[in-house]
Amino acid sequence: MLELQGVCRHYPGAAQLAVNQISLQLQGTETLVLLGPSGCGKSTLLKLVAGLERPDQGRVCWQGQDLAEVPAEQRQFAMVFQDYALFPHLSVVNNVAFAPTVQKTDARQRTERVDHWMQRLQLEALAGRPVWTLSGGQQQRVAVARALAAAPRLLLLDEPFSNLDESLRGELQAMLREVLCEAAIPCLLVTHDQREAFQLGDRIALIRQGRLIHCAPAHQLYHQPGSRWAARFLGHRNLDADGLWPEHAFSFNGPANACIRQLQRLGGQIELQVEESGQHWVLLLSQREWHQLGCPGVGDSMPCHRDLALRVPLPED
């Protein structure tokens, strides 16, 4: 189990702490995502866990042992960097075999481990290729295979998909989710992408300006974000002075009391921006719901009812 206890990190000349009194636990084989805007301290926290930097205050522990005097190479953690940090002079297979070779793993075990992750990450056809000749997606798969071939106690991922286009990103995220389940090792992943966080994370720790704002299971965090800032950052748009109005708080019956200001088709859904009692809401309707309302357009009125019991109260930021 990984445990952070009141961890702080300050860089000379900086106006504020990069990491400010963060305490977290990562248990079992879960994937914990550190989510927040760029520059909030996520990657710094990952480096503190990896042993690449030392905390100015607090402790990083593994199974109760303080890692302060344990160098990065002895922690048995594997890290995938944002730029992959592959060895350019080595082939794909030699990159993947690097850690087992350095660890002086038994030759048969080393071969089995390397072959397994080469096959699992679909790299067999690229085995002899220099890594600098590969595409971004291929290099990312090599970096993940190299990390897993080290048989780490903990996998650390720093924005591993940020350099990839959206379609490839989704494909590799799905592959990573399967691989993490198969490997059965805990993972600490850094991202600023909300969609990625909810796709990969069992729990999500929301970081803002070096502080831990909220940590909860992904589904719980989305529906109970804990603050107005968190709700906005997670993509909620229906906020007012009383709190958050989730999608299921709206129903479309009764008198036509809402005026449609904007309409946009999003695949098989209709996004409406409506004005109701001086408030503006964004509603997502299925094609069926829209047709049941008579296919209203911009300038038309439609029924819009809010269930007060479903409102989520949120404190001020």
- What pLDDT digit, counting tens, does each position of 262-289 carry? 999 988 899 999 999 889 999 989 999 8
Does pLDDT of 163 surpass 80? no
pLDDT score at 161: 82
Q: CA 229, CA 315: separation in Å to the nearest integer?
A: 10
The rounded mean pLDDT for the chain is 91
257, 193: one domain: no
Flag whether 317 is in a domain: no
Q: Supply the pLDDT for residue 25.
A: 96
For the chain, what percent of residues have pLDDT higher than 90?
Answer: 67
Q: Are 207 and 251 in the same domain?
A: no
| 96 found inside a domain | yes
Token digits of residue 142: 């090599």
Burial class (CB in 10 A: 0-12, 13-18, 19+), 219: exposed
Domain match, 252 and 184 both: no
**End of a domain among 206, 232, 258?**
232
What is the C-alpha separation between 278 and 30, in angstroms, rounded? 44
On whether both 250 and 213 belong to a single domain, the answer is: no
Give the range among 47-51, 118-122, 169-173, 248-252 with minimum mean pLDDT.
Answer: 169-173
**In this model, does residue 241 exceed pLDDT 90?**
no
Of 184, 212, 232, the residue at which a domain comes to its end is: 232
Q: How confident is the model at residue 255 (pLDDT cuts 50, 70, 90)?
A: confident
Residue 176 has pLDDT above 90, yes or no: no
Same domain, 143 and 211: yes
My answer on whether 269 and 152 are in the same domain is no
Domain termination site, one of 172, 200, 232: 232
Give domain status of residue 213, yes or no: yes
Q: What is the mean pLDDT of residues 307-315?
A: 90
In a domain, 315, yes or no: no
Same domain, 152 and 281: no
Q: What is the dihedral of CA 44, 46, 52, 57, to 10 degrees?
A: 60
Confidence of residue 258 (pLDDT cuts 50, 70, 90): very high
Q: Provide long-range contacts, Cβ within 8 A and 24+ apart, for 8-13.
A: 8/55, 8/56, 8/57, 8/58, 9/41, 9/44, 9/45, 9/48, 9/53, 9/55, 9/56, 10/56
Domain span at residue 263 reads 239-310
284 in any annotated domain? yes
* Residue 50 resides in a domain: yes
CA gap 299, 307 in Å, rounded: 24
CB neighbours of residue 294 within 10 Å: 10
pLDDT at position 115: 92
pLDDT at 102: 84
**Cα 15 to the chain's mean position, in Å?**
27
pLDDT reading at 206 higher than 80: yes
Residue 104 lies in a domain: yes
Contact in structure between 227 and 214 (CB atoms under 8 Å): yes
Full strand arrangement of the beta sheet holding 19-26 = 19-26, 2-9, 57-62, 65-66
Give yes or no for residue 174 having a pLDDT over 80.
yes
Share of the chain above pLDDT 70, in %: 100
3-class DSSP assignment, residue 133: helix
Determine the average pLDDT of the residues in 195-200. Answer: 92
The terminus-to-terminus CA distance of the chain in angstroms comes to: 32
Predicted confidence at residue 164, as pLDDT, reads: 77
Average pLDDT of the segment spanning 2-18: 96
Residues 70 and 141 in one domain: yes
Q: Do 191 and 297 lie in a common domain?
A: no
Kindly state whether residue 228 falls inside one of the protein's structural domains. yes
Same domain, 35 and 98: yes
Secondary structure of residue 139 in the 3-state scheme: helix
Same domain (yes/no): 87, 40:
yes
Q: What is the mean pLDDT of residues 61-79?
A: 94
Concatenate the DSSP letters of all residues of 202-269 into one string.
SEEEEEETTEEEEEEEHHHHHH--SSHHHHHHTT---EETTEE--GGGEEEEEEEEEEEEEEEEETTE
Mean pLDDT value across residues 254-259: 87
Give the pLDDT confidence score for residue 100 in this predicted structure: 87
Count of structural domains, the chain: 2
pLDDT interval class at 166 (50, 70, 90): confident
Q: Do 7 and 137 lie in a common domain?
A: yes
Torsional class of 199: left (φ above 0), alpha (ψ -120 to 50), beta (otherwise): alpha
For the cut 90, the answer to whether the pLDDT of residue 56 exceeds it is: yes
CATH of the domain at 118: 3.40.50.300
Q: What is the pTM of this model?
A: 0.89
Q: What is the CATH number of the domain that holds 295?
A: 2.40.50.100
Radius of gyration of the chain (CA): 24
DSSP secondary structure code for residue 85 in this structure? -
Whether pLDDT at 135 is above 80:
yes
